Chain A
Amino acid sequence: MAVLTIKNLAKTFNVGTPRASRVLDDISFDVRGGTFVSIVGPSGCGKSTLLNIISGVEEHTSGDISLTSDSGGPARMGYVFQDPRLLPWRSVMKNMMYVQNDRSEATAGRCRKYLEMVGLTKNADFFPGQLSGGMQQRVGIARAFAVEPDLLLMDEPFSHLDAITARGLRAQLQDIWAQSKKTVVFVTHDVVEAVELSDRIIVLQPGGRIYEDITIDLPRPRRQTDPTVATLQAEVLGRLEAMKTLSRTPSSAAA
């Protein structure tokens, strides 16, 4: 069943002014429950705007967007931001509890479970300032999973981390995702990362149209060292290169 359905979505900034600019144009796709979908594209292609519209932070100009929940109630969303965004004056555990709707023992248990999955059980009573950047981001990931969201939105969560830390966190994210089977929409500019993590990659081109919708059918868990993963990464990267040269020629931009 589709958790997220987007139909003919468009977004124009500064509507009705000379500075009006269309950042998203005729976007249609749906995301089935339990799948991991990445949105990739060069910077300025509108992928962050798309995420903001899905999350409700920004309004769209036209088109439809609908979100359904398994439980029948209002759909719950979880977020992982580029930076960890933890309350510096609350301990790790209290940060986890802050975004929960209730303070029950069951909820606390769930928070502890996800903290354990990211390997931070021992740090539950630490303040964020006592953790490294990578550890803080792991808390951010655990926090988002712990709200048991119908849809989990991730906005380039590894882009501020060094390569080694990011690689470790990607492996960890795959494990948590495999266990929880949450529906994830993951925004990144890193195709290699997208191939490693996703079931499906939606490629946006400059101007905010969908260029390609690629299904990644590889067994999990995927590791960067796996040659089949590397081959596919190279192939997708090649297709994106083609898109870039295509969009640079004026004739195709007009088409």
Chain B
Amino acid sequence: MTDQLVRTAPPTDPEAGAKRTAKRRRLRLTGLVILGWVAMFALWEYGSWWFGSRLLPRPIEVFQAGVEIVESGNFVTDFSASVLKTFAGFAVAAAVGAPIGYLMGRYNYWRAFFHDGVTIAGTIPAIVYAVMSLIVFGLSNLGPILAVALVSAPYIALNVAEGIRGVDKSLVTMSEAFGRTPQQIRREVLIPTIVPFVFAAIRMCFAVAWKVEALTEVFGGRNGVGFQIRTEYQLYDIAAVLAWMFLFIVFMLIIERLVLAKSEARLLAWRPQERSSAL
């Protein structure tokens, strides 16, 4: 009986063992990621062999087309045009959506007034907004901006409303008890509460918005990535169409990862889970 109470430590260092297991798991995961990429390219190569490279260019051809676009320098003006239009659309969406969201979150009457309309606006397919914007503005830069704004505004409104409803009432009571003015409470309690929600809305919208922006440009742009894709399509240069698309994807992922994610991490540094990534 008594010898069972005496427990000796296991002969091997458990921490080293755990580290080895973790390392093995990491290696296996990396291997699968690489395997996934290889499979994707193999499928693509097979497809272009099956359809013929005129219909579906080989990866290497697309890569070369991409290098040409980058070397020609065209992409800078077109990319910046597309990005500017996307962010202009966001600005409009925030200017319209945030106040609506504020009213919806703050007052039940306004919530009743806006709720169904905003929900419907958020459910309308992006392509409808793109077409509507083209009808309104025709061939102009304003079309893509309006399309982005229309797609994003409902999300921003709903998220801001959710944020306002999540405000910690006890902090408002505390502020009032110490004699803070309504403006101070708005600036120090309400706005910091909704910032994470606005960021979540922007990041969620961003994924949709740049696709809508490019789509609207394809139909009615005068510059930008979508416009280039249409031009190449009219020349029947599929490799260039794909190259523009891939460059755009890479560019937008960089913006999402570096700009949005980083600024979010910095603004939300007070949250324990964000702190590590902000530093």
> Which residue numbers of A lie inside 8 Å of B, CB to CB?
55, 57, 76-79, 81, 83, 85, 87-90, 98-99, 101, 127-130, 147
Contact A130 B174 (CB under 8 A): no
Contact A77 B270 (CB under 8 A): no
Contact partner of B170 among A85, A98, A130, A147, CB < 8 A? Answer: A85
For B272, list chain A residues within 8 Å (CB).
129-130
CA distance A98 to B189 in the complex (A): 11
Least CB distance from B198 to A in Å reads 14
For A79, list chain B residues within 8 Å (CB).
174, 177-178
B7 contacts the other chain (Cβ, under 8 Å)?
Answer: no
Least CB distance from A147 to B in Å reads 7
Contact A81 B271 (CB under 8 A): no
Contact with A along B162-173 (1 / 0, CB 8 A): 000000001101
**A-B pair number, CB within 8 angstroms:** 46
Least CB distance from B164 to A in Å reads 16
For B176, list chain A residues within 8 Å (CB).
57
CB closest residue in chain A, given B178: A99
Interface centre among B173, B178, B180, B269 (most CB of A within 10 A): B178
Contact A90 B188 (CB under 8 A): yes
CA distance A79 to B176 in the complex (A): 11
Given A98-B180, A98-B188, also A129-B270 (CB < 8 A): yes
Contact A85 B174 (CB under 8 A): yes
B192 contacts the other chain (Cβ, under 8 Å)?
Answer: yes
Contact partner of A77 among B177, B189, B269, CB < 8 A? Answer: B177
Given A98-B180, A98-B188, also A89-B174 (CB < 8 A): no
Contact with A along B254-266 (1 / 0, CB 8 A): 0000000000000
CA distance A133 to B87 in the complex (A): 42
Least CB distance from A81 to B in Å reads 7
CA distance A55 to B179 in the complex (A): 11
For A85, list chain B residues within 8 Å (CB).
170-171, 173-174
CB closest residue in chain B, given A99: B178
